[in-house]
């Protein structure tokens, strides 16, 4: 069990927050397969303070998702504090400050990974949130802005001194984005001196890999991001994997119906959002290209379901391996 302030987390492997991916429907799927807790997608404190309902709606969740971390980002101290005060009544267990988003529109504006270059401000944000809300405060960081400024020791120390209750660490720099290889030795170094729980993140490929990294580097919890997209099985202990297309189809439909309920719209908005998940669910399958194309071009959920139900795959699929275009994780889609 991991304890973040007064919040207990049962389990030590969880879904990492990802823009455009870790919404409530997929968090519910991940939790049902064993993810230990839930992060919301990150939400702009500017938009929260403006009362933007679309942004505030990103905090909607179901009770089964708890413990739930509300993740926010911003570059102005008073807005970050005010946003935290506004969202506390919505019921988060923890409020998390994003200090890791590498997208230029975020980080070059002083938010996300941009805070790694302004630790004094980041510290004031953590302290300000902590003093103005009654729930614990955590932060998600990277190792530094680039290889020439690996300031993760100073970052962790500053956040701890400000009262942070847990820190998740993506083992890359801002300049790396999602390229290269995550530096787990640095994550392990952080854990060796940290006084708060440390969650490790980066390049985890399976449940077994997560367990190995927890054991080798001593982190309190492992976060899985890109390899979990379309693959909630990754959170199941004992390397439980997909058993066949019938099982995959059931999870696809459960996920789609959950999105349809969560995003009610006359223009099939949920189906459009679901497409990026669908292509990952069927990755590695001998899926007919025409059928795949028809499903992706479908503009009706009922039509999509009819097509999918009529699809039968007899061939074996290759061992599931997820890759994902970084564009799917692009934070900018939520800043337009």
Whether 101 is catalytic is: yes
Number of Cβ within a 10 Å radius of residue 336: 5
Using DSSP's 3-state secondary structure scheme, residue 114 falls into helix
Q: Which residues are annotated as a binding site?
A: 17-19, 71, 140, 170, 225-226
Catalytic residue (one of 13, 36, 101, 182): 101
Q: Which residues of 91-109 are buried (b: 16+ CB within 10 A; e: fewer)?
A: ebbbbbbbbbbbbeebbee
**Length of the chain in residues, anyone?**
336
The DSSP code sequence of 237-250 is TTT-----HHHHHH
- Strand 13-15 versus strand 166-170 pairing type: unpaired
Question: Which residue reads 């690996």 in tokens?
Answer: 150
Report long-range pairs for 74-79 (Cβ below 8 Å, ≥24 apart).
Answer: 74/44, 74/45, 74/46, 74/111, 74/125, 75/109, 75/110, 75/111, 75/114, 75/115, 75/121, 76/45, 76/46, 77/121, 77/124, 77/125, 77/128, 79/45, 79/46, 79/48, 79/49
CA distance 74 to 213: 31
Residues annotated as binding site for FMN?
A: 17-19, 71, 140, 170, 225-226
**What are the φ/ψ torsions at residue 111 (nearest 5 degrees)?**
-100, 180
Which residues have a catalytic role annotated? 101
């Amino acid at each position: 069990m991991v304890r973040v302030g007064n919040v207990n987390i049962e389990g030590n492997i969880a879904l990492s927050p990802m823009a455009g991916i870790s919404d409530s429907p997929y968090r519910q799927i991940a939790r049902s397969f064993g993810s230990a807790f839930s992060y919301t997608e990150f939400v702009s404190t500017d938009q929260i303070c403006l009362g933007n309902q679309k942004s505030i709606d990103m905090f909607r969740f179901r009770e089964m998702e708890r413990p739930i971390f509300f993740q926010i980002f911003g570059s102005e101290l008073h807005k970050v504090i005010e946003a935290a005060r506004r969202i506390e009544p919505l019921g988060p267990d923890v409020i998390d400050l994003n200090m890791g988003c590498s997208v230029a529109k975020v980080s070059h504006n002083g938010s996300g990974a941009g805070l790694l270059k302004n630790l004094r401000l980041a510290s004031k944000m953590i302290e300000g949130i902590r003093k103005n809300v009654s729930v614990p405060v955590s932060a998600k960081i990277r190792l530094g802005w680039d290889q020439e400024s690996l300031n993760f020791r100073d970052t962790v120390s500053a956040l701890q001194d400000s009262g942070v209750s847990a820190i998740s660490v993506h083992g890359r720099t801002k300049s790396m984005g999602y390229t290269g290889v995550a530096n787990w030795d640095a994550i392990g170094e952080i854990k060796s001196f940290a006084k708060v729980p440390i969650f490790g993140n980066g390049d985890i490929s399976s449940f077994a890999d997560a367990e190995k990294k927890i054991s080798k580097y001593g982190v309190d919890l492992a976060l899985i991001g890109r390899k979990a997209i379309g693959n909630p099985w990754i959170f199941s202990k004992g390397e439980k994997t997909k058993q066949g297309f019938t099982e995959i189809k059931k999870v696809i439909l459960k996920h789609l119906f959950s999105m349809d309920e969560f995003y009610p719209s006359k223009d099939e908005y949920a189906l459009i959002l679901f497409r990026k998940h669908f292509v990952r669910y069927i990755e590695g399958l001998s899926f007919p290209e025409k059928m795949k194309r028809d499903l992706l071009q479908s503009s009706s959920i009922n039509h999509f379901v009819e097509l999918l139900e009529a699809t039968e795959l007899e061939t074996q699929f290759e061992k599931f391996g997820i890759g994902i275009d970084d564009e799917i994780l692009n934070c900018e889609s939520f800043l337009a």
